[in-house]
Every structure is written in C-alpha cells, then in structure tokens.
Amino acid sequence: MNPFILALQARNLTVEIHHHSAYQIVLSNDLPFTSTISGTKYERIHGFLIKPHVTHFCVAEKGKLNVLNIEPYSSIGLQLASMFTENEEAIVFESPTETNTFFQTPKESLEVSNVIEALLSGVPKTDYDDRVAKIVDYIKANYFKPDITPQTFAELVFLSPSRLAALFKKQTGSSLSKYLLWTRLRQAIYITLTDKDRSLTDIAYDTGFYDLPQLNKYMYEMFGMPPKALKYSSDLIQVY
C-alpha cells in the first residue's frame, strides 16, 4: 500500500555532491565509507540518515551501499522527522551496532529489508477505505497515462476532488499527486537500470511523463540525480 520508499544498492560507487527532496538512509552492510554532509567530512562510517535538502556526497570505492529514499510527507517520512533533534540535519552511524540500535533491527544482520520492516512496523495500522484502495489499483494499472488528473480519480470513486484528496492524505500521509509521481519515478528508475537498450526519452513517455525534461526535473528534485546518471552507472546500481 505504501510506495513511498525507493531502495537501491550501489557498489564501488562515488556520488558527487547533491541534495534532494526525499529523506535518505544510506547504510553499508560490509565496509565503512566516507561521506561529507553540509561541509563536514565523516570517515569510516557505516551509515547515515539525512533530512531533505541537505547537501552531501559519498565515496565508497569498495563495498556496497544500501540507499533508501523516502517521501518526506508520507507516514514513514513523518516518522523519520520525529527522530531528529532541533536543528539536526543528519544522524551518522559510526558502527553497525549504532545502526541496529537506532532502527531496532537484529544485531546479527544489517540487511536493508530489516530496516524497511522496522520502519513499516512504526506506522500505525490502517484499515484502508475501499475508495482509496480502488485509486491505488487504478494508479498501478494506469500510471503511464500522462492525462491523469484529480478529476480522473474523483470520477472513479464518485467523490469531489477535494474530499478525495483529504481522504487519501489522511490514510497515506501524502497526496494523490505525490503517490502518482512516486509510482512513475520508481518505474522509470527500474526500467533505466534493467533495460539498457531503452532510450531515456522512451522511458519518460512510457512512464507517464510528458517528455524527458520533465522526468529529469522530478528525478533531480526528488533523488538528486537525473536518469542519465543512473543509466551510466547501471552496472553498479540495482533496485531492490
């Protein structure tokens, strides 16, 4: 029900300085790495949790990094916001023990799936309204259509756009437009990393964006890199 997590694994990769709108969790489950966050260099760390719009970059020339991007206004994003103290921009984990203690994950494992399960377990259980479930199913089947509007959803469940927007936000923590955007971005990233022969322009059209510049804009805004950067690193990055 919650698509607001994008999980990637990168190996032997250096990421240039950037910032983005999503919360980001970066974790190593093997070798320590170096990162610079807001101008402060951290060496031989095992991970960090960073707020949106904080500049940073990573150097992990050996080993693997697990990267989780989370929509800031989703239920999990709001949960992450509460973990920071006032004026804190990032939480750095200097050892696997610190990582497991913070996320309350098993001490013998640093698998990213355990972190995701721990985050999901902190979200209050919700009995989703049938109309919300119907919208979610519609987006899964039709995300690639560029002409989807709030009125499209409203007519589907016989509610006004404003009432549907309020219901959807109450149950998911985020807006319908963000849900649709994340669905499109996740699919665009998956295709970029798994279908190396497909052009980025075709990927943009096939996932519901009007053109490649629009996909570039949203990718950079949300994740700090354009699809071109992912495509050139597709041998080093995979989607969970």
| DSSP string for 80-95 | HHTTSPTT--EEEE-S
Residues of the chain with CATH 1.10.10.60: 130-239
H-run or E-run covering 129: none
Within the chain, which residue ranges are assigned CATH 2.60.120? Answer: 5-121
Rounded CA separation 220/228 (Å): 10
Q: What pLDDT band is residue 44 in, cutting at 50, 70 and 90? A: very high
Residue 211: name the closest of 234, 193, 195, 188 by CA.
Answer: 188
State how far the Cα of 219 lies from the Cα of 60, in Å rounded to an integer.
22
Confidence at residue 30, expressed as pLDDT on a 0 to 100 scale: 82
Architecture (CATH level 2) of domain 5-121: Sandwich (2.60)
| Residues 160-192: tens digit of each pLDDT | 999 999 999 888 888 999 999 999 999 999 999
- Tell me the pLDDT of the chain averaged across its residues: 89
Q: 130-239, superfamily in CATH?
A: Homeodomain-like (1.10.10.60)
